[in-house]
Amino acid sequence: MPQRSGSLLVPLFILLAGLAAGAYIQELPSLALQLLPWLPYLLASVMVFLAWHFNRGKVLLAGGLVLLPAFYPYVSNNTLPSSSTTVAAIGLGLLLLLKERGFFNRFVFNRALFLTMLVAWSMAYERGVINFDFLAVNVPFVRIKLSNLLCWCMIGATSLVSLLYWWRKADGFSTAVLISLASLILIECQPFSSNQDAAIRSAQILIWVWFVIAESHRMAYRDELTQLPSRRALNEAMVALPRRYAIAMLDVDHFKKFNDSYGHDKGDEVLRLVGRVMLRYSGMASVFRYGGEEFTLLFKGKGADFAEDVLEQVREEIQAQRLDVSTETSAKEVSVTASLGVAYVNQGESPSDVIKRADQALYQAKRKGRNRLMVASD
């Protein structure tokens, strides 16, 4: 739950800021009011540059979909929703299911071509170029045309799928899609002035700018294999430590031998398995992947008093895991163990010295038979 609420915090704040700006639009200075209609397109230019710089083709398509209703406003007098909003919602939902393939290549071209075909089809239908008479009939009881009802059903289904996808993943992209869908429906259902519309659309684009920046930061400070914070994040965490802390080093036992016996793919599974175990204890300690098969646990303040108890639980839980190494001819599961060393800070000691002592304790645990915890001497 903290991860889900945390993923919503900034995007929701940006959207609410856009709504607040729209509500108090007349309080803005005259110069700001003159520049406001151009703001969505200025932010869109920034978003395109960031998407190109960080090779994010899905962000480029998402930005285009969010702005689609602005480029192609609703032109007919039929009941809502507009076809542009419907296409934008469907496109955002589809982006959740597609892999990132980069900014400028055939994948982005094919996806953009598909979305262009959807837009062209919807425009042709709205303007009467093509006709489907059975879609123009009124649905009994609800007093809405079948075509509009189908559009609402597609928007509702896409929103539900996006909500479930966000609930499962709670990552930056699914959050940006979810908030974008909510804002699109809000703009569709609520009449806004042109300046209010510009303020909200600026917030929509700013959400995607935030996503690119936040995702780039995450990639720089998080290990891709285990999804744990990387050594760079550990170095930053050690810049400001309290007076009382403890640092533990964890090393997977016989990892090289395991790689040689079962292959590097299984070795990666071992590291992911250890990473998942450590993530479950991230509320008691800050956990990091130090490098290779080594991991680090950082206990701060009063948490250092319970470091040994927590580390024993981590060691036992890792030992309890089973990894399937079956082949075509035999079924086999193996267990994984880890050795740990922990060091408590002494007065005037630097974090790097504490890590060195934790490493020495770790090697002592290795020499004494592995699969154990050793505490460094003062």
Prior bond of 81 cis (ω within 30°): yes
Q: Rounded mean pLDDT of 40-59?
A: 89
Place of tokens 């809502």: 80
Measured distance CA(69)–CA(73) in Å, rounded: 5
Residue 77's pLDDT is what? 47
What does the pLDDT average to over 36-59?
88
Q: Is the pLDDT of residue 132 over 70?
A: no
> Per residue in 264-285, pLDDT tens?
888 889 999 999 999 998 889 9
Q: What are the φ/ψ torsions at residue 48 (nearest 5 degrees)?
A: -65, -40
Task: Give residue 122's pLDDT band: very low, low, confident or very high (50, 70, 90).
Answer: confident
Give the length of the chain.
378
| Sequence-distant (≥ 6) Cβ neighbours of residue 96 within 8 angstroms | 161, 162, 165, 173, 174, 177
CATH 3.30.70.270 in the chain: give the residue spans.
231-375
* Rounded mean pLDDT, 31-45: 86
pLDDT at 135: 64
Helix 172-189 and helix 83-97: axis angle, to 10°? 170
Segment 168-186 shows an average pLDDT of 89
pLDDT, tens only, 62-114: 888 888 877 765 544 455 677 788 888 888 988 888 888 888 777 778 888 88
- The highest-level CATH class for domain 231-375 is alpha beta
pTM: 0.75
Q: Residue 314, Cβ neighbours under 10 Å: how many? A: 25
- Quick one: pLDDT at residue 7? 78
Output the average pLDDT for the chain. Answer: 85
Tens digit of each residue's pLDDT (9 = 90 or more) over 182-232: 998 888 888 788 888 888 889 999 999 999 998 888 888 888 888 899 999
Tokens found for residue 114: 């598909």
